[in-house]
Amino acid sequence: MTQEIRLFGAIAVRPAVLALISQFEKATGFTVAVKWELNPVVKKQIEAGGSFDLVITNPNLIEDLTALGKVKAGSEVAFGRIAMGVAAKAGGRPLDIRSVEAFKHALKSAGSIAYASEGSSGGYFSGLLERLGIADEVKPKLVAISGGQTAPAVGRGEAELGVVPVTSILAAALEVMLVGRFPAELQSYIDFAIGISAASTDAEAARQLSEFLTSKAVDDILAAKGVERRHRAGATPKRASP
């Protein structure tokens, strides 16, 4: 009987991880059953008793789940970090967001801006508008999108721009393009870590998947999908951006 590993992950890492699953399954003979939700929902469902073998979410949430006895102590490893970016409909006019002033101008000039209303990125973006002093002008233009559909919503024409982790933009339909990453002064990387369930039915299989996802062998694939390796496996990851 083929062993099934239950992987529960944040939507932001979905495009990158899915690019690796078949490679792992072919090499090991295991099958991986995946489930994706926004970071806060991942934590909430596991707290409520949701079953999983491996989880990928923000490091601070892994720490919380470890304290609750849901994640095996000592199993946490860093996965990578994802930058924030701006999406637009493919074929649109060129847009400059390389400097802070250009970024502010682009937001103020847009007719509408989609953002992840329930995720880590949406919380950061809302706070950023306050810091930049343009909240009153920009917030009426915001289009709240749930369920990790921010970039596709731009492709469907539901908003002129989208503010979302780069992985989601790169994985969206051909109708969506990456305008660029946030200016360095405003960039907030969202960190992700991996933890093994304290109640895993096969902790050894889960450990093998964790080691595969954090191995140097897959760094290039992850980079192409928008995940940067800030930490090596076994290092202690920092807390995610708000």
Give the 3-state secondary structure of residue 180.
strand
* Both tokens assigned to 202: 């096969």
Rounded CA-CA distance 128/91 in Å is 28
Encoded tokens for 60:
């601070």
- pTM (predicted TM-score): 0.85
What pLDDT score was predicted for residue 123?
A: 87
| CA separation for the pair 144, 16 (Å, rounded) | 24
Q: Where are the domains of the chain?
A: 4-81+191-228, 84-181
Cα angle 237, 191, 38 (rounded to 5 degrees) comes to 130
Name the phi and psi angles at 18, rounded to 5.
-60, -30
For the domain 4-81+191-228, what is the CATH superfamily, name and number? Periplasmic binding protein-like II (3.40.190.10)
Amino acid 47: pLDDT: 97
Instruction: Give domain 84-181's CATH number out of 3.40.190.10, 3.40.50.720, 3.20.20.140, 1.10.10.10.
Output: 3.40.190.10
Smallest Cα–Cα separation from 125: which of 200, 190, 66, 63?
A: 190
Q: Which residues of the chain have pLDDT under 50?
A: 1, 231-242
The whole-number pLDDT of residue 231 equals 46
Same fold, 4-81+191-228 and 84-181: yes
